[in-house]
Amino acid sequence: MPEDNSPKEERIAEKIRCDACPVMCYIADGKSGACDRYANHGGELVRLDPLTVIEGGAQAVPFLDSGANAQDWDGDLIQGHRRFVTAVGAGTTYPDYKPAPFIVSQKVNDVDMVTVVTEGIFSYCGVKVKIDTDRHIGEERAIVRCEGEAIGHVMTSEYGSKMLSLGGVEHLTGGSKKEGRITCDALLRLCNREAVELTVDDGATVVVQAGHAPIINGAPEKLMRVGCGSAAVGMFAKQWERHVDEVVVVDDHITGVLTEHEAGKGLAMRPSGIRVKGRKSTPGRYFQVADPGTGWGGTNVEDPLTILKPADPKLAWPGLRLLMISTTGEQFAYYTLDEALVPQPAEITQPLRAIADRIAENCEPSLCSVLFMGGAGGSLRAGVTENPVRLTRSVRDALTYVSCGGAEAYVWPGGGITFMADVMDMPTNSFGYVPTPALVAPIEFTLRMEDYAALGGHVDHVRPVESVLTPDIRKVLPNLSQPDPHDERNYRWTKGAKVKG
């Protein structure tokens, strides 16, 4: 190919300047910008992933007063009879002064409603990841890495789950360029429900994907525990009482011992003399019986007998039947005490095996949950109203309903509009990025027309919903979390060309 010796100004003039984000790409004909969201199509700037409309309704609630209008509302929270224009594929308000790309009006129960639809460029964003597992993945506050770069940390453990906080402005923009790029890429993939491999410092390797079981150190997790060891004793004491003399439920947090526990005492069970290592909390409840790990009940135990002290000869007896079991019922071992009061392996009885199966039955499948979290700042709010603080106050006063790609958003109390949304409730491929780096996420504000005018909204830019429903839009069903590749609703459209989305 001959070298292009034309002046730089001429070469740039053949391209289109995109102002959808601060990068301000020059895009040649037939090419897309750095974000892969906008392209030059015959000299026209087009959006590659089109506006998405949820067919049959979305979780957008008209906030009516206690007057006559409220009496007409039938309690249908999702307004299932109407279409809802999401901000997926809508475009942004950058460079800040522009109104939102779509400000859509429609009647809901004879009330004039407005939905302001825009994609926010979120530098201040991240995800909270809930991993259903008892396995130890790392110490609290341990650094979480992707491709070797720090992108977050381990949070507090919750009941049967580990929690991660990933992203945030410190990782996106406060570190090296590589750290920001990898953080942005990991967040994008997680929010779009793709699998991401993470490593925890001095901990496990975890593959996380929203709606799927976590894979910990190469092994898919199956069950979320029924409860802690103490809770398991309380739930199943009555069923065990007739078939065994002692049960120890091994758990990293609270190991339960049946005959010591109040449940065993309530059933008048004979004290067994089986003694457990660790720090006694209350009768039948023990902390720190072993170190955290990926073994029984989230401990590092592979042989459950290692958490036992010698049996108390004043209370124990030869032939004593002992069951040791994990909090998911996946691991269990049955013993009888010999003449020296030492546990000897024995074949588990059918009733005890059935109870172990019942514990597993009561454990929910392990899943990963990904919640996008972002702060809706000044530039985004300016696309809604000329006086941004009024939008914040309107959200606080429950006059404005916030959604994210049509999904219900939880708005945190306190200042600003800081919200969270479950990515599983959103249409596929709802998120994009810009290489500043930042995520691009949909956000919608729904309120009555009169309230929109009162907060100084861009009323001159309101358009009826019918004008938005063009052949170029993508239509999805509510909560269409797992797309069918043969379903036309799961294709994205660009200027008449159908591209699998």
Over residues 177-214, the pLDDT tens digits come to: 999 999 999 999 999 999 999 999 999 999 999 999 99
Residue 260: φ, ψ to 5° = -80, -30
Q: Inform me whether the pLDDT recorded for 75 exceeds 70.
A: no
Q: What is the pLDDT of residue 261?
A: 97
pLDDT band at 470 (very low <50, low <70, confident <90, very high): confident
Q: What is the pLDDT of residues 282-334, one digit of tens each?
A: 999 999 999 999 899 999 999 999 999 999 999 999 999 999 999 999 999 99
d(CA 229, CA 374): 37
Q: Hey, what's the torsion of the CAs at 462, 390, 402, 37, to 10 degrees?
A: 60
- Determine what percent of the chain is predicted with pLDDT higher than 70: 87
Residue 118: φ, ψ to 5° = -155, 155
Query: Which range, of 62-66, 190-194, 336-340, 363-367, averages the lowest pLDDT?
Result: 62-66
Q: What is the pLDDT of residues 403-426, one digit of tens each?
A: 999 999 999 999 899 999 999 999
The more confidently predicted of residues 495 and 298 is 298
Q: What tokens does 353 get?
A: 């095996």
DSSP, res 88: T
Q: What is the pLDDT of residue 178?
A: 96
Q: Inform me whether the pLDDT recorded for 125 exceeds 90.
A: yes
Q: What is the pLDDT of residue 81?
A: 54
pLDDT band at 35 (very low <50, low <70, confident <90, very high): confident
d(CA 228, CA 328): 9
d(CA 451, CA 143): 45
pLDDT band at 165 (very low <50, low <70, confident <90, very high): very high
Q: Average of pLDDT values for 59-79?
A: 42
Q: What tokens does 334 get?
A: 């049955």
Distances (CA, A) of 235 to 359, 376, 454: 9, 45, 56
Tokens 């402005």 belong to 169
The predicted model scores a pTM of 0.83
Distances (CA, A) of 75 to 58, 108, 257, 295, 407: 14, 12, 48, 48, 18
Q: Inform me whether the pLDDT recorded for 492 exceeds 90.
A: no
Q: What is the pLDDT of residue 82?
A: 65
Q: What is the pLDDT of residue 361?
A: 94
Q: How do strand 255-257 and strand 321-326 relate by DSSP bridges?
A: unpaired
pLDDT band at 34 (very low <50, low <70, confident <90, very high): confident
Q: How many CB atoms lie within 10 A of CB 357?
A: 12
Q: Inform me whether the pLDDT recorded for 484 exceeds 50.
A: no
The more confidently predicted of residues 481 and 232 is 232
pLDDT band at 478 (very low <50, low <70, confident <90, very high): low
Contact 210, 421 (CB under 8 A): no
Quote the mean pLDDT of the chain: 86
* Total number of residues shown for the chain: 501
Q: What is the pLDDT of residue 58?
A: 42
Query: Which range, of 44-58, 123-137, 162-176, 264-278, averages the lowest pLDDT?
Result: 44-58
pLDDT band at 489 (very low <50, low <70, confident <90, very high): very low
Q: Tell me whether residue 488 is exposed, middle or buried, using C-beta atoms within 10 angstroms of its C-beta: 0 to 12, 13 to 18, 19 or more.
A: exposed
